[in-house]
């Protein structure tokens, strides 16, 4: 388990986003998420939580302090990224925090983008939907268009979550979203998993045609996963998958 031990972390060089200043809206000593992904670098969900969830004011103050420091030394982030120890949209003041962040971005680093990495499980909530429509990069997870694969990979906590539900909710953004997909293969709970097969890719591409994202980000394992027996997909294979999506008219980034 690799947890982010600060509210504001970095900046770090993201392979997808550039120089990224991270924001963690969850405790620094626990992983809290509405997914329990087999590949998450933060490990599986935990029950420990000694440090509090930061308040909206704490997030604003910490972010403003860091942006002032960076501006003073001429270090401007390419992006302010909401990620951290679980699902950022779980924070009860998520929309207000996004409003504060956009204001601070405009004040201290107007060229920076504001990005949210979300697992898509709370986009049916009106305040989450509104907030994600305000950011520059609304990056939403969609790992498989086949229910069994999605549930093996992502292990959603909510019983209401299935692929059809995801597609319906993602379509509501009318293309104002970036789809992010993790590709891998391995063995999970005694079952072979591989979301790069022809059947998987055809279902995924058909789903993308319904969702109509402005961009698709695809990637594979980069750090140690909490589940053993998972295999990284090679850059060559990812490029083949990317080309299939480009032939359908999608802008695809490979990380």
pLDDT > 70? residue 47 = no
Enter the tokens of residue 96: 């207000």
Buried b (16+ CB within 10 A) or exposed e, 100-134: bbbebbeebbeebbbbbbbbbbbbeeeebbebbee
Q: How would residue 12 be classed by pLDDT, with cut points 50, 70 and 90?
A: confident
pLDDT > 70? residue 141 = yes
Which CATH number belongs to the domain containing residue 20 in this structure? 3.20.20.70
The packing angle between helices 198-211 and 235-247, to 10°, is: 50
> Per the domain annotation, does 1 fall within a domain?
no
pLDDT, the chain, mean: 93
> Per the domain annotation, does 180 fall within a domain?
yes
Count of Cβ atoms closer than 10 Å to residue 158 Cβ = 11
Average pLDDT score over residue span 117-135: 97
Average pLDDT score over residue span 15-29: 88
> Per the domain annotation, does 3 fall within a domain?
no
> Per the domain annotation, does 2 fall within a domain?
no
pTM for the complete prediction? 0.93
pLDDT score for 40 = 85
> Per the domain annotation, does 110 fall within a domain?
yes
In order of 15, 71, 79, 94, 108, the CA distances from 23 in angstroms are 17, 17, 11, 12, 16
pLDDT score for 51 = 79
List CB contacts of 134: < 8 A, sequence separation 6 or more: 98, 99, 102
Q: How would residue 171 be classed by pLDDT, with cut points 50, 70 and 90?
A: very high
pLDDT > 80? residue 234 = yes
Q: Is 185 exposed, middle or buried (0-12, 13-18, 19+ CB in 10 A)?
A: middle
Average pLDDT score over residue span 186-194: 90
Separation CA 167–CA 128 (nearest Å): 17
Q: How would residue 1 be classed by pLDDT, with cut points 50, 70 and 90?
A: low
Separation CA 87–CA 118 (nearest Å): 6
pLDDT > 90? residue 229 = no
- Tell me how far the alpha carbon of residue 30 is from its chain's centroid: 18
> Per the domain annotation, does 127 fall within a domain?
yes
Count of the separate structural domains present in the chain? 1
> Would you put residue 189 in left (φ > 0), alpha (ψ -120 to 50) or beta?
left
Note whether 3 and 28 are within 8 A (CB): yes
pLDDT > 90? residue 45 = no
What are the tens digits of pLDDT across the range 81-106? 999 889 999 999 999 999 999 999 99
Note whether 16 and 238 are within 8 A (CB): no
Structural domain harbouring 60: 8-254
């Amino acid at each position: 388990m690799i947890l982010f031990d600060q509210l504001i972390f970095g900046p770090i060089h993201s392979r997808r986003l550039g120089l990224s200043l991270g924001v963690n809206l969850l405790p620094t000593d626990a992983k809290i998420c509405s997914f329990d992904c087999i590949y998450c670098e933060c490990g599986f969900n935990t029950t420990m939580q000694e440090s509090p969830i930061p308040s909206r004011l704490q997030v604003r103050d910490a972010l403003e302090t860091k942006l002032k420091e960076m501006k003073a030394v001429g270090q401007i982030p390419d992006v302010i990224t909401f990620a951290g120890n679980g699902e950022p949209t779980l924070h009860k003041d998520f929309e207000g925090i996004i409003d504060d962040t956009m204001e601070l971005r405009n004040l201290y680093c107007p060229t920076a983008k504001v990005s949210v990495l979300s697992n898509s499980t709370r986009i049916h909530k009106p305040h989450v939907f509104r907030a994600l429509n305000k950011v520059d990069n609304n990056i939403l997870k969609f790992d498989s268009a086949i229910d069994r694969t999605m549930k093996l990979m992502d292990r959603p906590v909510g019983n209401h979550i299935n692929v059809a539900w995801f597609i319906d909710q993602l379509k509501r953004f009318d293309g104002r979203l970036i789809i992010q997909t993790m590709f891998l293969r391995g063995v999970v709970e005694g079952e072979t998993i591989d979301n790069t097969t022809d059947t998987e890719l055809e279902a995924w591409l058909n789903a993308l045609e319904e969702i109509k994202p402005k961009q698709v980000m695809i990637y594979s394992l980069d750090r140690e996963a909490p589940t053993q027996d998972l295999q990284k997909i090679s850059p060559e294979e990812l490029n083949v998958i990317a080309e299939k999506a480009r032939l359908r008219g999608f802008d695809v980034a490979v990380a």
